[in-house]
Amino acid sequence: MQHTLTITTSNEASVVERLLQVTRYRGYQLAGLELTPLTDRAGMQITLKVKSDKPITLLTNQLAKLYDVQQLALASADVAVLRA
Amino acid sequence: MNGAELVLKVLQQQGVDTIFGYPGGAIMPIYDAIYHSTVKHYLCRHEQGGAFSAIGYARASGKVGVCLATSGPGATNLITSLADALLDSVPLVAITGQVSQAVMGSDAFQEVDVLGLSLSVTKHSFMVRNVNDLAATLQEAFRLAQSGRPGPVLVDIPKDIQLAPAVEPEWPEYPAPRIATSLANAAKARQLIADAKKPIAYIGGGVQMADALAQLQTFLAESAMPSVTTLKGMGSVARANPHYLGMLGMHGTQAANLAVQQCDLLICLGARFDDRVTGNLAKFAPDAKVIHVDIDPAEINKVRFADCAFIGDMKQILPAISAPTQCEDWLAHCLQLKQQYGWRYDHPGERIYAPLMLKQLSDRMPDNSVVCCDVGQHQMWVAQHMRFNSPRNHLSSGGLGTMGFGLPAAIGAKLARPQDTVIAVSGDGSFMMNVQELGTIKRFRLPVKIVIVDNQRLGMVKQWQQLFFNERYSETDLSDNPDFVALAAAFAIPGHTITRKDEVESALDAMFTWPGPYLLHVRIDEKDNVWPLVPPGAANEDMLTETN
């Protein structure tokens, strides 16, 4: 199943590799990645698409506690599935 | 003042008076600052040993451990220790020197991407790019190492930053951290406990780390339920508690494993359903509802679904969920299990039986002694046959299972608690993994007691080869071990070898009576194995014992 995560992070140089490392280690396959520097403050908005048969919360819980992650949201369709 | 001197200022400002490390080119400015500093540096003989000493210091004291290493090989030698600290949630700050920014990325001498290498074995890793960020970054590293679920934090500091002119900053007053805790599920938890016929508390290292041991004793007394602990939770339950059943899991007690398998409510406190605890997960505590309390939200529902979960401060949560139980029959049943499956020490023959020797060690060691283990059969025998009155007194590499942990951890523990006896219990395989730290013991005249349980084998691997690999003993024979007593003597550490049961008590007395460091070499029968054992893939009630 594919999920889309929208993540606001700090602008540290290691942010992206850290996100990808956790994604790989926890057993999720990368299906898409988009980076947008935030103009109004030092940070980035990252859209991460991942595939896995595992519950997506096992990944979001790990990503949310990373030091450089400021906000993390699942696309609304994914949230609806989680609540179903 | 330069950046290096500012590093020492920050350490002092954080209350650090003891650090461990090894110098080298890219961290020489910091070592130059150490030369005149009041912060005491302990020179280890390998960076891994230095970091394990910092971990031992942290685990025995509750403070943050600090270790230093240079760039390249110095930093890569820290990786195992960082992983150990991550898996056992130990607050550790590792400071590494890095080559100057002008040559970074050019494969300079002793340059390696430490930031990248360390990311997956730390809670977070920083690189300082501007001397004006140095103090704040180090302060943040200390805050992060201790906050929430503790863990290791690495700060990589290029040499030019260490040499750059620096200004002492204003030291901000940090308010005491507040741990967000929701008690919204408290009534539900109390109802689950009140309704349970066969509840049991499963206690991990998180209770001690939350400084909630007093709340735990009250909770166990008010609810009158039996309890089991993980390897890291050992020492959490007061010795006087009759309903404590011991360690659960692969080498847990039969009483603990059987009770957990039979329970109808499992209250998991600061533990994480590790595979060495659960055995076959699908068959673990199959009839139990679960209450899970942890400070790390990522542990909830990670391995086992929780019917009722709490994230936050154990100190607040335990009183809020406490409820009386009506389970006299269950308590009586658990006591009967404990009696039925109690340890037996009537081992035949004259040779030393390690479980009995360790029980004798436990009975003879002074109160509040710290025991540091290595990894393997001796580690499990220590967990089974020694008793502790605090998790700070039992330092064992739990999550990573790192051979070579024990001796340097004992050095750190002794420096943290010089008033207490510190004993490193090691195996003949593990001891050789960081044997160079005997040099640290010699240099600082540290009265650490070392007990080597020697079966001339990599015993735990050999046991598995015997049971599950048709006795093909591939590369586990260590019968060409060095003369351990002579080895200790080379570091001016006296020692003695014993081989017979009737020598044990007098040898232990001699070790404790000797005022300085001492090595007791205990030869045991290589045929002795660790029992019980839950075989791979089996449920925890299907334990192998010596007789089946």
- Give me the amino acid identity at B488: A
- On whether both B132 and B50 belong to a single domain, the answer is yes
Q: What is the CATH number of the domain that holds B219?
A: 3.40.50.1220
Per-residue pLDDT at B281 exceeds 90: yes
Spell out the alpha helix ranges (H) of B164-298: 186-195, 206-209, 213-223, 254-262, 275-278
Question: Of B340, B366, B392, at which residue does a domain stop?
Answer: B340
- On whether both B394 and B329 belong to a single domain, the answer is no
B261 to each of B404, B405, B538, B539, how far by Cα in Å? 34, 32, 12, 9
Query: CB B119 to CB A64 under 8 A?
Result: no
In degrees, rounded to 5, the angle at the alpha carbon of residue B13 between the alpha carbons of residues B12 and B18 is: 30
- Kindly state whether residue B122 falls inside one of the protein's structural domains: yes
Q: What is the mean pLDDT of residues B184-203?
A: 97
- On whether both B379 and B499 belong to a single domain, the answer is yes
Q: Scanning every residue of chain B, which has its alpha carbon at the shortest distance from the alpha carbon of A56?
A: B302
Query: CB A14 to CB B296 under 8 A?
Result: no
Per-residue pLDDT at B201 exceeds 90: yes
| Residue A65 contacts B where some CB pair is shorter than 8 Å | yes
- Kindly state whether residue B528 falls inside one of the protein's structural domains: no
Shortest Cα–Cα distance, A78 to chain B (Å): 18
Tokens representing B49? Answer: 């040993």
Chain A partners within 8 Å of B127 (Cβ): 13-14
- Kindly state whether residue B174 falls inside one of the protein's structural domains: no
Q: Cα separation of A68 and B35, whole Å?
A: 35
- Of the listed ranges A34-43, B143-152, B215-224, B538-547, the least confidently predicted one is A34-43
Q: Scanning every residue of chain B, which has its alpha carbon at the shortest distance from the alpha carbon of A25?
A: B120
- Kindly state whether residue B202 falls inside one of the protein's structural domains: yes
- On whether both B296 and B368 belong to a single domain, the answer is no
Query: CB B298 to CB A62 under 8 A?
Result: yes
Shortest Cα–Cα distance, B269 to chain A (Å): 19
- On whether both B71 and B121 belong to a single domain, the answer is yes
- Kindly state whether residue B181 falls inside one of the protein's structural domains: no
| Residue A25 contacts B where some CB pair is shorter than 8 Å | yes
Tokens representing B159? Answer: 């040499």
- Kindly state whether residue B540 falls inside one of the protein's structural domains: no
Give per-residue pLDDT as tens, B24-79: 999 999 999 999 999 999 999 999 999 999 999 999 999 999 999 999 999 999 99
- On whether both B191 and B153 belong to a single domain, the answer is no
Per-residue pLDDT at A80 exceeds 80: no
pLDDT score of B6: 98
Write out the residue range of the structural domain in which residue B10 sits.
3-163
Tokens representing B26? Answer: 């890219």
Examine the residue annotation and report whether B460 is marked as an active-site residue of this protein: yes
| Residue A33 contacts B where some CB pair is shorter than 8 Å | no
- On whether both B229 and B301 belong to a single domain, the answer is yes
Per-residue pLDDT at B177 exceeds 90: no
Chain B partners within 8 Å of A58 (Cβ): 301-302
- On whether both B363 and B506 belong to a single domain, the answer is yes
- Kindly state whether residue B345 falls inside one of the protein's structural domains: no
- On whether both B47 and B139 belong to a single domain, the answer is yes
Domains annotated for chain A, with CATH where assigned, are: 2-83 (3.30.70.260)
Helix (H) or strand (E) segment spanning residue B155: strand B152-158
- Kindly state whether residue B530 falls inside one of the protein's structural domains: no
Q: What is the CATH number of the domain that holds B434?
A: 3.40.50.970
Q: What is the mean pLDDT of residues B94-101?
A: 98
Q: Give chain A's end-to-end CA distance (angstroms, integer).
A: 15
- On whether both B117 and B9 belong to a single domain, the answer is yes
Q: Cα separation of B384 and B530, whole Å?
A: 9
